Each structure stands twice: as structure tokens, then as C-alpha cells.
Amino acid sequence: MTNRTTAAWAAETDNARIWFESLRDRICTAFEAIEREAGSDAAFEYTPWRRDSEVPGEDGGGGVRGVMKGQVFEKVGVNVSTVGGAFAPDFAKTIHGAGEDNTSFTATGISLVAHMANPHVPAVHMNTRFLTTSKAWFGGGADLNPPLPYEEDTAEFHAAFKAACDRHGSDYYDRFKAWADEYFYIPHRKVHRGVGGIFYDHLECDSAGAFEQNFAFTRDVGEAFLEVFPRIVRRRMGLGFTPEEKRQQLEWRGRYAEFNLVYDRGTLFGLKTGGNVDAILMSLPPQAEWN
């Protein structure tokens, strides 16, 4: 572990968890408000779950899965989980700060994926997280996935996250945008899964000051999402669409599913650490098409 104590990391994990839960509540309220504007009474349904510990009698943690199926949001999931335990030895080798001699971990985070009813409204992903192994760090990001891209929406989405990045590091946006372009790519299709965003990982917290600095950035990433995405939804949700545009959306969803099942780190992390399968796979679209 770093020069921080186990007790300090436990307290800071709890601080991160509390904020992730508050962000979830505000996002879900904002999304439900959009449904009301569309004349829908759809609301999130929340399902708590617990994780079995590798050690009998120890608490493995758990989380809450929130899902809403509405008129605007065909399916949106917002999950918060806080778990701890031990990685399998082979998987530990792939995790920052873990390995054969240190397989223990804690993790807390929020994960969101929204699949929209109208193909003019982009699908979106956002997550932020805090992990401890022998090191402690923040990671996260967001990317926009429009089946029918609009330059205005893409520019506004990127501008929101650039503003968040610029408050913390002059090179953050360029670095994390490039990382997103590299990460959110489907090699077997030779296409990006959307129009990008930001992706960051391993922002290490080897002191209380580093924790506060990286936590502040992570909070700004969440706030940027909450500010920009509902605005884009409202701009597009009333547009008419053709059967061909709907078909294009379903085909694009198939590519999204391929990425999440084959390449996504979060999916692999959840499955390898005994997470709730329904929560892990809530990112999959309600309908998709392969031609």
C-alpha cells in the first residue's frame, strides 16, 4: 500500500461512495424529469445486491442497480457498487498495483449506460471509480454514441468535458480524449464505437492532497455529464425518424454490444470479481440487430 494507512483509504473510499450515490440520485432525477416532459410516468426501479466474499464471514460489499424503461430512455441503467475482497491470482496480474503477492482490493464507482428510443438522440456511457490495491487511484470517463451523429452535439459534449479537464490540467483533455479514441475502438470492425469523449485511469493518490485533487477532477467529470447530456437529449428527443433510421440505430447497438462483451474493462472486472451479473450486463441494449 502507499504511505496512506488502511483506515485512511477506508474513509476515503466511503467519501467517494457517498458522492457517487449523490451523483446517481441527481442523474436519475434529471432523467425522470425528461420522461415527464415527454408525457411518461416512467421511473427508475432500484434493486440492491450483495457480493459473496472470498472469505467466509467477511463482507464482500454490494451495490444498487437502477434501471428505467421509458418513452425517451428506452433503457437506462445507473449502478453504484462498493466491493472488496481478493482477485484471482491470474486476474490480479492485470490490475494496477496488484499481483501474486497482493490480490486484495476495494472498489467503489458509478456506471451509467443509456439507450434511447429515438435514433436522433445519442446513446451514452459514463463511469467514474476509485480503487485501492497496493496503490490507490481514480479512473473513469464518458463517451457519446450517436447512430445519427450531429456535429453540434459532438462539439457540445466534448466542450463540456474539455472545460472540466482544463480546470485541473492543461494537458488533461488532449491526453484523455486521445485515450478515449484508443480505448473505445472495435478492432474487429475497424471503427470507433461512437464520437468519443474522455477516458482516464490510474490517477494515483499517494497522499491526502493527491486524493483530493483527483477526487475533485472526478467530481467535475460527473458534473460535466449531468450538465451536458440532458441538454442534448432535449434537443433531439422530439424529432421524427424513419424506419431506416431506426434500423441504423439497432445495427449500431449491435456494435456497442460487441465492444462491451469483448473489450470493455468494466465488464471483465465485474465478472472476474463476482459482481451482480444483471448490473454488469445492464449496459446491453434492449434490442439490437446484426446484418
CB 98 within 8 A of CB 106: no
Long-range contacts made by residues 266-269, C-beta under 8 angstroms, separation at least 24?
A: 266/111, 266/127, 269/107
Strands lying side by side in the sheet with 73-86: 45-50, 61-68, 73-86, 104-116, 123-132, 136-145, 196-204
Please tell me which residue in 120, 125, 158, 192 is annotated as part of the active site. 125
Question: Cα 191 to the chain's mean position, in Å?
Answer: 21
CB 236 within 8 A of CB 180: no
Helix residue ranges, H only, 167-290? 172-183, 208-236, 243-262, 265-272, 277-280
Active site residue 125: yes
Residues with a catalytic annotation lie at: 125
